[in-house]
Structure 1
Amino acid sequence: MLRVDGHDIHLEQGGRVQLDDSTLTLSSSSQLVHGVQLSKDQTGVTAKLSLSNLIISVFFDGNTAQILLEGPAGSSVEGLCGKSSRSLSDLRLSEYSSTSCEMQYSETADSTIDCTSVTERCDLLKEAPFSSCNTDIDPEPYITACTDTLCKYPAVDGLNCQFLKAYARACSLHNHTLDGWTSKTDCSSEAFCQDRTCSDHEFCGEKTVGGDTRCFCRDIFASKYQANNSLGDPTVCMQDSASLTLVGCLLEDKGIDYSALHLNDPTCRGQVDELTHMVTFSFNSSNSCGTVVTTNNSELIYKNTIMTQNSSSDIITRHDQVYIDFSCVQTQPDIKTATFRIRDSSVIQHITSGVWDYTLTMKAFTNVSHTQAVESSIEVQLNQKIWVELKTDGLDGDVVVVVTDSCWATDQPSPDSTPRYDLIINGCANPADQTVQVEDNGLGTSNYFSFNMFEFTRGSGEVFLHCKLHVCPKQEYSCLQ
Structure 2
Amino acid sequence: WWLLWKQTCWCVFDMFHSVVPPLCPSARQLNNSSMVLSSSVQLVNGVELSKDNTGVTAKVSLSNFTTSVFFDGYTAQIRVQGPSGSSLQGLCGNSSRPLSGLRLSEHSSTSCETKYSDTSDSTINCTMVTERCNLLKKAPFSSCNIDPEPYIKACSDTLCRYPAVDGLPCQFLEAYTRACSLMSNTTLEGWRTVAECSSPDAFCQDQTCIDNEFCGETSGGETRCFCRSIFASPYREISALGTPTVCSQNSASLTLIGCLLAEKGFDYSALHLRDPTCTGQVDEKTHMVTFSFNSNSCGTQVMTNSTEIIYKNTIMAQNSSSDIITRQDQVHIDFSCIQTQPDLKTVAFRIRDSSVVQVITSGPWTYTLTMKAYTDASRTQAVDPSTDIQLNQKIWVELATDGLDANVVSLVTESCWATNQASPDGGLRYDLILNSCPNAADQTVTMQGNGQGTSNYFSFNMFQFSGSSGEIYLHCKLQLCVKQESSCIPVCSGARGRRSISSRYEAAF
Same fold (TM over 0.5): yes
Residue type of the alignment partner of 2:431 = D
Q: For residues 299-314 of structure 1, what are the structure 2 equivalents within 5 Å?
A: 299-310=308-319, 314=323
Cα distance in 2, alignment partners of residues 443 and 248 from structure 1: 44
Task: Name the SS of the counterpart of 2:111 in structure 1.
Answer: coil
**Corresponding position of 2:260:** 250
Task: Name the SS of the counterpart of 1:125 in structure 2.
Answer: helix
Cα distance in 1, alignment partners of residues 345 and 438 from structure 2: 20
Task: Name the SS of the counterpart of 2:309 in structure 1.
Answer: strand
Cα distance in 2, alignment partners of residues 201 and 151 from structure 1: 25
Cα distance in 2, alignment partners of residues 45 and 59 from structure 1: 6
* 446-455 or 168-177, larger mean C-alpha shift: 168-177
**Corresponding position of 1:435:** 444
**Corresponding position of 2:10:** none
**Structure 2 stretches lacking a partner, 5+ long:** 8-22, 100-107, 491-497, 499-509
* 1:354-385 Cα shifts (integer Å, max 9, x gaps): 32111112222221122222345543333221
Cα distance in 1, alignment partners of residues 180 and 276 from structure 2: 57
- Indicate whether 1:119 and 2:122 are aligned: no
- Indicate whether 1:334 and 2:346 are aligned: no
Task: Name the SS of the counterpart of 2:314 in structure 1.
Answer: strand
**Corresponding position of 2:227:** 217
Provide closer, same or farther for how the CA distance between residues 459 and 113 of structure 1 changes in structure 2, counting only shifts above 3 A.
same
Cα distance in 2, alignment partners of residues 446 and 79 from structure 1: 77
Provide closer, same or farther for how the CA distance between residues 45 and 405 of structure 1 changes in structure 2, counting only shifts above 3 A.
same
- Indicate whether 1:138 and 2:147 are aligned: yes
Provide closer, same or farther for how the CA distance between residues 311 and 473 of structure 1 changes in structure 2, counting only shifts above 3 A.
closer
Provide closer, same or farther for how the CA distance between residues 358 and 469 of structure 1 changes in structure 2, counting only shifts above 3 A.
same
Match of 1:390 among 377, 385, 399: 399
Provide closer, same or farther for how the CA distance between residues 340 and 296 of structure 1 changes in structure 2, counting only shifts above 3 A.
closer
1:413, distance to aligned residue in structure 2 (A): 3.0
Residue type of the alignment partner of 1:220 = I
- Indicate whether 1:29 and 2:29 are aligned: no
**Structure 1 stretches lacking a partner, 5+ long:** 4-9, 85-96
1:450, distance to aligned residue in structure 2 (A): 0.8
Cα distance in 1, alignment partners of residues 383 and 224 from structure 2: 69
**Corresponding position of 1:16:** 28
Task: Name the SS of the counterpart of 1:193 in structure 2.
Answer: coil
1:225, distance to aligned residue in structure 2 (A): 2.3
**Corresponding position of 2:92:** 77
**Corresponding position of 1:159:** 168
Match of 1:407 among 416, 432, 439: 416
Residue type of the alignment partner of 2:260 = L
Sequence identity of aligned pairs in percent?
Answer: 66
Cα distance in 1, alignment partners of residues 290 and 339 from structure 2: 22
**Corresponding position of 2:214:** 203
Task: Name the SS of the counterpart of 1:327 in structure 2.
Answer: strand
**Corresponding position of 2:75:** 64
**Corresponding position of 1:104:** 115
Task: Name the SS of the counterpart of 2:130 in structure 1.
Answer: helix
**Corresponding position of 2:480:** 471
Question: What is the TM-score when the length of structure 2 is the normalising length?
Answer: 0.78
Cα distance in 2, alignment partners of residues 332 and 70 from structure 1: 77
**Corresponding position of 2:371:** 362
Provide closer, same or farther for how the CA distance between residues 368 and 208 of structure 1 changes in structure 2, counting only shifts above 3 A.
same
Provide closer, same or farther for how the CA distance between residues 447 and 129 of structure 1 changes in structure 2, counting only shifts above 3 A.
same
Residue type of the alignment partner of 1:120 = E
Instruction: Check whether the contact 1:365–1:386 (CA below 8 A) recurs between aligned residues.
Output: yes
Instruction: Check whether the contact 1:61–1:191 (CA below 8 A) recurs between aligned residues.
Output: yes
Cα distance in 2, alignment partners of residues 243 and 80 from structure 1: 50
Instruction: Check whether the contact 2:295–2:311 (CA below 8 A) recurs between aligned residues.
Output: no
**Corresponding position of 1:271:** 281
Cα distance in 1, alignment partners of residues 456 and 62 from structure 2: 76
Match of 2:251 among 238, 241, 244: 241
Instruction: Check whether the contact 2:271–2:317 (CA below 8 A) recurs between aligned residues.
Output: yes
**Corresponding position of 2:18:** none
Task: Name the SS of the counterpart of 1:421 in structure 2.
Answer: strand
Provide closer, same or farther for how the CA distance between residues 102 and 11 of structure 1 changes in structure 2, counting only shifts above 3 A.
closer
Instruction: Check whether the contact 2:320–2:330 (CA below 8 A) recurs between aligned residues.
Output: no
**Corresponding position of 1:418:** 427
Match of 1:295 among 304, 312, 322: 304
1:401, distance to aligned residue in structure 2 (A): 1.4
Provide closer, same or farther for how the CA distance between residues 169 and 30 of structure 1 changes in structure 2, counting only shifts above 3 A.
farther
- Indicate whether 1:348 and 2:361 are aligned: no
1:285, distance to aligned residue in structure 2 (A): 3.1
Cα distance in 2, alignment partners of residues 362 and 303 from structure 1: 30
Residue type of the alignment partner of 1:428 = C
**Corresponding position of 2:237:** 227
Q: Aligned residue pairs: how many? A: 456
Residue type of the alignment partner of 2:92 = V
Cα distance in 1, alignment partners of residues 30 and 468 from structure 2: 77
Cα distance in 1, alignment partners of residues 218 and 130 from structure 2: 24
Provide closer, same or farther for how the CA distance between residues 466 and 22 of structure 1 changes in structure 2, counting only shifts above 3 A.
farther
1:438, distance to aligned residue in structure 2 (A): 1.2
Instruction: Check whether the contact 1:331–1:354 (CA below 8 A) recurs between aligned residues.
Output: no
1:150, distance to aligned residue in structure 2 (A): 1.0
Task: Name the SS of the counterpart of 2:326 in structure 1.
Answer: coil
1:47, distance to aligned residue in structure 2 (A): 5.1
- Indicate whether 1:319 and 2:328 are aligned: yes
Task: Name the SS of the counterpart of 1:100 in structure 2.
Answer: helix
* 1:119-165 Cα shifts (integer Å, max 9, x gaps): 2332233344544443xx43212211111111111232332233233
Q: For residues 90-101 of structure 1, what are the structure 2 equivalents within 5 Å?
A: 99-101=110-112
- Indicate whether 1:147 and 2:159 are aligned: no
Match of 1:282 among 280, 287, 292: 292
Instruction: Check whether the contact 2:350–2:471 (CA below 8 A) recurs between aligned residues.
Output: yes
Provide closer, same or farther for how the CA distance between residues 79 and 365 of structure 1 changes in structure 2, counting only shifts above 3 A.
farther
Provide closer, same or farther for how the CA distance between residues 124 and 408 of structure 1 changes in structure 2, counting only shifts above 3 A.
same
RMSD between superposed Cα atoms in Å:
3.5
1:391, distance to aligned residue in structure 2 (A): 0.8
1:240, distance to aligned residue in structure 2 (A): 1.7
Residue type of the alignment partner of 1:77 = C
Instruction: Check whether the contact 1:338–1:466 (CA below 8 A) recurs between aligned residues.
Output: yes
